[in-house]
Structure 1
Amino acid sequence: MDDREHTTDEAREAPVRSAQEVADDVVARVLARAGTALQDGATAHTTFDGDQLDLEERTSLRRVAGLSTELEDVTEVEYRQLRLERVVLVGLWGAGTVEEAEISLRELAALAETAGSQVLDGLLQRRRTPDPGTFLGSGKAAELAGLVAAVGADTVVVDGELAPSQRRALEDVVKVKVVDRTALILDIFAQHAKSREGKAQVELAQLEYLLPRLRGWGESMSRQAGGQVGGAGAGMGSRGPGETKIELDRRRIRTRMAKLRREIAAMEPARQTKRASRRRNAIPSVAIAGYTNAGKSSLLNRLTHAGVLVENALFATLDPTVRRAEAADGRVYTLADTVGFVRHLPHQLVEAFRSTLEEVADADLILHVVDAAHPDPEGQIAAVRHVFADIPGAMDVPEIIVLNKADLAAPEAVARLRSREVHSIVVSAHTGEGIDELSALIADQLPRPGVQVEVVVPYTRGDLVSRVHEHGEIDLEEHTEAGTRLRARVDAGLAAELEEASGAA
């Protein structure tokens, strides 16, 4: 009986020990790859990427000790200044597989490094649901506190979104700053935003995140601004408890948020005017979308020689870039590079960047760029489509899955993706493999001009012939004594101008 009881106890302990060993192996593999998110600061560029003049500026702004691009505190409230320098990662291995847990923790390490921090260690707990008090269980939180003290970390980064109470409780245990995944992504956006609209969008998202997380020192937030006993305007109706300090701060933040929303709304007409101009001139539009660091900017440079910033880092591109491109059949279209997506993209960012993301919904075609060399490209595709679902009209736009980084991807992974995504093409923006085929596919998928014309355009209106070459499809072109004879398909507006010019001749 004793032997059986002893055997049963061992069998009962074995799964727990096994899960812990698996979790430790995951952390070890993630730490072994730490430091590769930025390839030690080097990124392979091609001649299509241009001079990369912005790269030196971006590198010079890389986070250093004592420097924070976080929002300055709008009041006397203690604010979470993110000086991410030496961090410990924390993740939960829940209902999913251990591979999914490893991919998520590896992405968290890349996010932390992109923000400018050094990953010292990590901890992964096998737990079905987060603890409502400290996210981790009490025992694991105590183990984390020991780990933080042992490695000398100043920040704990949690792979998930913490409730304000969870963050406070975990900070009380580990005695250092605790930052969740959402705050980390917001901090990266704050570093990389350059345009006026981008900065306003990021600040709005940060304030939305901050509002329910205000925290003061001790009892300072309970101090009240009561009414005065004497003086002009004092007296009946002005006395009483007044606003507490934290209530006043919340009101100031809401006022600032309202102002930012008005500023962003005021910038929208300029974007709409540009879109209307493109539609009026019947210029098709193509949007490049996809997971962060999938190679969207490299693809834009390869197709247009735009020379936009290319960096092997997460969220290198925040401000949308629109460039002129030419399809394989000679037609001109616009190509827009958009902000990258990520798993569990903070909803504050989706809301704040809605005007920018509308570039995707207004496009005639979406090039959904996928990193075919990533361990979980299917998960990236699902995450991007989840964001598409939050953008009205985006799911109705025709989509081409562009399997990028073919020079690095395993052939079996590419074959698996092509079998799952019927409308897909394999390319390498770095080597140029498949780019010609992609250009031909874009030409095939762009909307066709709807009006058939057969006209003789006088030689004095060569501008109209040029526009037909750019925006139409020419079946016949010959030069006669009266002018250029054209048989082509064009849009209705250009057709009317051609008929008018032909009649005047």
Structure 2
Amino acid sequence: MDTVSRNKDEKGVLVTVAEKGLDEVIINEHLDELAFLASTAHITTEKVFIQKLDKPDIKSFVGKGKLEEIKQYIISRDIDIVIFDDDLSPSQLRNLERELNCKLYDRSLLILDIFLNRAQTAQAKTQVELARYQYLMPRLTRMWTHLERQRGGTGTRGGAGEKEIETDRRNIRNQISVLKKKLEKIEKQNEVQRKSRSGIVRVALVGYTNVGKSTLMTLLSKSDVKAEDKLFATVDATVRKVVFENIPFLLSDTVGFIRKLPHHLIESFKSTLAEVKEADILLHVVDVAHPAFEDHIKVVKETLKELEALDKPTIYVFNKVDLLEDEVREGVENMHIANIANDDERVFISAEKKINIDQLREKILIATKNKHYQIYPNSLSDVTW
């Protein structure tokens, strides 16, 4: 499948439905994240539309008045794309296309497109392609044809009639079947590789997207790992061998999690995220300078629960302390953070400024050493106390 190709930034508007009474700070934080997603996909946010409703309108997501306001803005400003902060149902999509007559994205499709552009390995590309087909399957409308035309086409016809859509649907079912078989084959190969690593401690970096995992990976492994100030800079799992005081372990950097991560994407990426599921120790990296960092911790833990990896020994690495004022930093370090039991589980660092890295290394060494001696109990006799 061809990835989205944009020679220049396209102009977009963001649309969200905010529950009445919801804190403005939370609404804005969610919209800032959506704008960051749009920017990552080379879409410039021109305006934000907020509709205060108890829940999205079943027919058009927003009310009639707000829809007309969006429509007039699109026409007057020559807007390319409208992005919705929640998933659109097939009927909402049809109705909105009829009214707005431009490209429509919801949050899941935007994330899937970003992943599609960032995936490097055959496995990741196949996983994202599968997730995207599964997501688009029930939403085959004119959106399908203009998205495929944008990508250069994938062999499906661009007609708008029911016969063409049904043909597309059949083609997609076949493609989904092919992709699933391809993934099964790749996963069998990966299982063999993972079994060959069973005699070494495995540590996995996890966290919300853009918290500095790749920067920390580079620092700890002393190897060049791609790090950018963009969402989902890492899609493919990266594994490096690291040795602390003669204790070897494998350190893996995995895709960052995010609020409302598409379900199909989680399902498809479970094999890549096997690095997390099979890890002995987790390093949960948190951007402590972000105002919503506690919410981010919650999102990551919910995703780990879905991956059946929540109960693993975890070191919470609160990153970017250099961005906090001294008084704020002291307050954060002393605050109670839900479901984090004690100070032994957490360390406050700056990967960028190399603050408290020795303290983090010591915590990692203690955890990996304990696990290493469980795997090789006889090696304890060689230790000089």
User: TM-score, normalization: structure 2?
Assistant: 0.87
CA contact (8 A) 2:141 2:160 kept: no
Match of 1:273 among 192, 198, 213: 192
Residues of 2 paired with 1:440 and 1:159: CA distance?
41
Change beyond 3 A, Cα 1:208–1:341 = same
103 and 452 in structure 1: CA distance in 2 versus 1, 3 angstrom threshold:
closer
Residues 1:63 and 2:6 aligned together: yes
User: 1:356-395 to 2 correspondence within 5 Å?
Assistant: 356-392=272-308, 394-395=309-310
For structure 1, the residue ranges without an aligned partner over 5 or more in a row are 1-60, 66-83, 224-244, 454-467, 477-487, 489-505
Distance 2:195 2:211 in 1: 30
Q: CA deviation at 1:254?
A: 1.0
1:402 is aligned to 2:321: no
Cα deviation for residue 221 of structure 1 reads 3.0
Q: Aligned with 1:129: secondary structure?
A: coil
Whether 2:248 is the aligned partner of 1:248: answer no
- Tell me what 2:332 maps to: 416
Out of 355, 367, 378, which is 1:433 matched to?
355
Equivalent AA in structure 2 for residue 326 of structure 1: V
Match of 1:334 among 241, 245, 250: 250
Equivalences for 1:156-305 in 2 at 5 Å? 156-215=82-141, 220-223=160-163, 245-279=164-198, 282-305=199-222
Match of 2:262 in 1: 346
> Which amino acid is the alignment partner of residue 301 of structure 1?
T
Distance 1:452 1:347, change over 3 A: closer
Query: What displacement does 1:102 show?
Result: 0.5
Q: CA deviation at 1:317?
A: 0.5
Question: Is contact 2:321–2:329 with CA below 8 Å preserved after alignment?
Answer: no
Note the C-alpha offset of 1:448.
4.3
Q: Distance in 1 between matches of 2:13 and 2:59?
A: 20
Task: Give yes or no for contact 1:318–1:339 (8 Å, CA) kept in 2.
Answer: yes
Instruction: After TM superposition, give the deviation of residue 63 of structure 1 in Å.
Output: 3.3
Asked if the contact 2:93–2:139 (Cα under 8 Å) also holds between the matched residues in 1, the reply is no
Larger radius of gyration: 1
Matches within 5 A, 1:72-221: 85-95=10-20, 96-215=22-141, 220-221=160-161
Unaligned 5+ segments in structure 2 are: 146-157
Map of 1:318 onto structure 2: 235
- Letter of the structure 1 residue corresponding to residue 231 of structure 2: L
| Alignment counterpart, residue 226 of structure 2, candidates 309, 316, 325 | 309
Q: Is the Cα–Cα contact under 8 Å of residues 283 and 333 in structure 1 kept in the other structure?
A: yes
Aligned twin of 1:459? none
Q: CA RMSD in A?
A: 2.1
State the alpha-carbon separation in 2 of the partners of residues 373 and 246 from structure 1: 47
For this pair of structures, how many residues does the alignment match? 357
Residue of structure 2 equivalent to 1:449: 373
Which residue identity is paired with 1:291? Y
In structure 1, what is the Cα distance between the partners aligned to 2:229 and 2:135? 27
State the Cα deviation string for residues 440-493 of structure 1 (Å, max 9, x = none).
10111221414654xxxxxxxxxxxxxx6xxx68423xxxxxxxxxxx9xxxxx
Structure-1 separation of matches of 2:383 and 2:373: 13
Distance 1:212 1:173 in 2: 20
Tell me the equivalent position of 1:46. none
SS in 2 for 1:113: helix
TM-aligned CA distance change 1:291 to 1:473, over 3 Å:
farther
* TM-score relative to the length of structure 1: 0.67
Change (3 A) 1:310 1:429: same
SS of corresponding position for 2:323: coil
- For 1:222, the aligned partner's letter is E
Structure 1 CA distance, aligned partners of 2:330 and 2:258? 21
Instruction: Name the residue aligned to 1:72.
Output: none
For residues 168 and 406 of structure 1, the distance between their equivalents in structure 2, rounded to whole angstroms, comes to 47
Deviation at 1:62, TM superposition (A): 7.7
3-state DSSP class of the match of 1:297?
helix
Measured at CA, do residues 320 and 348 of structure 1 come closer, stay the same or move farther in structure 2, by a change above 3 Å? same
Structure 2: distance between partners of 1:364 and 1:63? 41
Tell me which residue corresponds to 1:494. none
Find the residue that maps to 1:121 and give its secondary structure.
strand
Report the alpha carbon displacement of residue 435 of structure 1 after superposing the two structures with TM. 1.1
User: Is the partner of 2:233 in helix, strand or coil?
Assistant: coil
Q: Which amino acid aligns with 2:373?
A: P
C-alpha separation between the residues in 2 aligned to 1:219 and 1:323? 48
SS in 2 for 1:429: coil
TM-superposition CA deviations, 1:350-394 (whole Å, max 9, x none): 0110101111110010001111111200111111111111113x0
- Residue by residue over 1:271-300, the C-alpha shift from the partner in whole angstroms, topping out at 9 and shown as x without a partner, is 222221221xx2100000111101010000
The Cα of 1:414 is off from its aligned counterpart by 6.4
Contact 2:81–2:105 (CA under 8 A) maintained in structure 1 = yes
SS of aligned partner of 2:231: coil
Contact 2:87-2:107 at 8 Å conserved across structures: yes
Name the % identity. 37
